[in-house]
Structure 1
């Protein structure tokens, strides 16, 4: 069974998330040379953190705050995970038998095998509950299935609806970030979320930390010299981060295989958890060396019904290092760009809310464009209330 197409009854709406965040010396996301990633923008070199890095950090934050059974996993080792689960079923005598059953259960999906035995050719994104449902299909039937030849076992399992399990009841992470299986369109889940590469609002230079490590034993013997010498590239930056959630697509993904009345509450919870984890997460690269975790100086959410709008154009002209707060200037430029876009394109947002850490002129500029400053819990509660009030189940 394929998912139904998006329909006019599901209104198109987008929750844009804008973040200004200052990070001290760090190497959160390194390139092939081991240095922090960067990019040219507005004619100058900027610090960059890839969207993949921040999406993973967001997913890891989800995992810290959700029950294990609600977790999702992206791996080549789905067969190994299923084998481990099946080995605990009654009637499965050993790991080899569990592996045979796992191979037969995954065969209807048509996923290509990888080079390493037991691996798939690509990363496969699935939920723990989906794997549990897969194991449930053969609970009590393991001895019967193991007695069959491989070909007959796969034929018997093909009638059990294996594909349907991975088309329905998606965990939040899969519903948000999607699943791409290049050669199997039937297993694809269109992402409800788009995440931009984070860019510094100003020009950034690459720096290097030269370090030496002392061998404790040579010191004890009164010998001289370092036990290790090396260097780590780093930079520090005030970043503009942006992501958007397609409300209609998220509801569509979460509705698959669930009771219709459960789809909308799950969608609202999904938006809240995404905004929370996106705002609070930080990629962990070289975290022990730099302890770079910070909280944003500004988080703004804007609900639009026309299209998502990335406001990185506010920083095409880089913020200049003139002794003022780079974060404060960046926040004002972001607020002015939002007001300009709204005025020129004539598409006002249906909802705006902001959390910020500024006062005086920056605070005034930000609040004139994005509403009165509030706490992060207030922002989340207000967003939930707006979504429920404006896009209720009755109209969605």
Structure 2
């Protein structure tokens, strides 16, 4: 049976603008009749996969998302002395392997493509061969640019290549949008900047506004452990490293939006990890009714624990094993949590 790992996290962020909407204000969602702060799953996943934690623990196994693969080839060809017309033609052929290219700029792919280190190596080798032989890439060389790969971030979060379904990857990790557990009001920070060299005018050199708000967030992550291992070519060691890195990143790394303005760095004050073959379920039910009062951090833990215990009473055990860490109570360690999650 499929084995799942579920992570439930509570993290308190001070006034911040972690993840902006199209107006520049913090993203929100209306839940339980009140406005909540929200952090998109895309923002969270990017923060984790580009974190130092992933780079340190998964070095050499992290992919790259880009539209610029054709342009990289073009610039390499020009640098090697290949004529611009040929460089453009050959690089465009390369770019079209990864997706539809832009009409106005055939060197650039219309959509971001996620390529693994092995595939970047194949591209680098093709570029080197073309430069050495001063010739166009062959059809077989172009077909060889995309192939079986085992990048951890692609294995976790998947990828979709239009028209090349055989190279798609089904995500092994599902990430929910993080939602504030209580009502929040987005406020405007009115700020000014002074011109240091202007001694004649006491007014501001610049005036602006930036939205911000504070919240305790509930975050849910569901990991299909079997699919993750399958996506990683059956490598159990790499699977454990991936699970450990994801757990550590989720607990300690957040989006970096407006970080220099708000210094909104935080770590989860509560994390519950569950393992088992039972059908996964979020515990967001605990926060449909917004947490009220003055101790959001503690009250959120109580609400989460109550719903988890009641789910077990009604449905039977919803996991085979669980482990939690609680900063407010000084309970558990991150190292023990990582070991629990990573162990089969």
TM, length-normalised to structure 1: 0.79
Among 113, 116, 125, the residue aligned to 1:127:
116
Q: Residues 174-216 of structure 1, C-alpha deviation per residue, up to 9 Å, x if partnerless? A: 1111102244322211111111111111111111111111111
Closer, same or farther: CA 247–63 of 1 in aligned 2, 3 Å: closer
CA distance in 1, matches of 2:336, 2:190: 44
Displacement of 1:294 in angstroms is: 1.1
Is 2:239 aligned against 1:251? no
Aligned residues of 1:85 and 1:135 also touching (Cα < 8 A): no
Displacement of 1:67 in angstroms is: 6.8
Closer, same or farther: CA 139–223 of 1 in aligned 2, 3 Å: closer
Is 2:159 aligned against 1:179? yes
Higher helix share: 1
Among 66, 70, 73, the residue aligned to 1:75:
66
Aligned residues of 2:15 and 2:212 also touching (Cα < 8 A): yes
1:229 alignment partner, SS class: strand
CA distance in 1, matches of 2:83, 2:220: 46
Among 160, 163, 169, the residue aligned to 2:149:
169
Which residue pairs with 1:341 in the alignment? 311
Displacement of 1:51 in angstroms is: 1.0
Q: Residues 97-137 of structure 1, C-alpha deviation per residue, up to 9 Å, x if partnerless? A: 66655444455x36211243311121101123321133335
Closer, same or farther: CA 175–98 of 1 in aligned 2, 3 Å: farther
Among 250, 254, 259, the residue aligned to 1:287:
259
Is 2:341 aligned against 1:358? no
* Count of residues in correspondence between the two structures: 341
Which residue pairs with 1:113 in the alignment? 101
Displacement of 1:351 in angstroms is: 2.1
Displacement of 1:73 in angstroms is: 1.4
Displacement of 1:281 in angstroms is: 1.1
Which residue pairs with 1:306 in the alignment? 278
Displacement of 1:86 in angstroms is: 6.9
2:109 alignment partner, SS class: coil
Task: Let me know the Cα RMSD of the aligned residues.
Answer: 2.4
Among 4, 9, 13, the residue aligned to 1:14:
4
CA distance in 2, matches of 1:67, 1:172: 8
Aligned residues of 2:95 and 2:107 also touching (Cα < 8 A): no
Which residue pairs with 1:330 in the alignment? 300
2:50 alignment partner, SS class: helix
Which residue pairs with 2:37 in the alignment? 47
What 5-or-longer segments of structure 1 have no aligned partner? 1-10, 364-372, 388-396
> Structure 2 matches for 1:187-336, cutoff 5 A?
187-218=167-198, 221-255=199-233, 260=234, 263-321=235-293, 323=294, 325-336=295-306
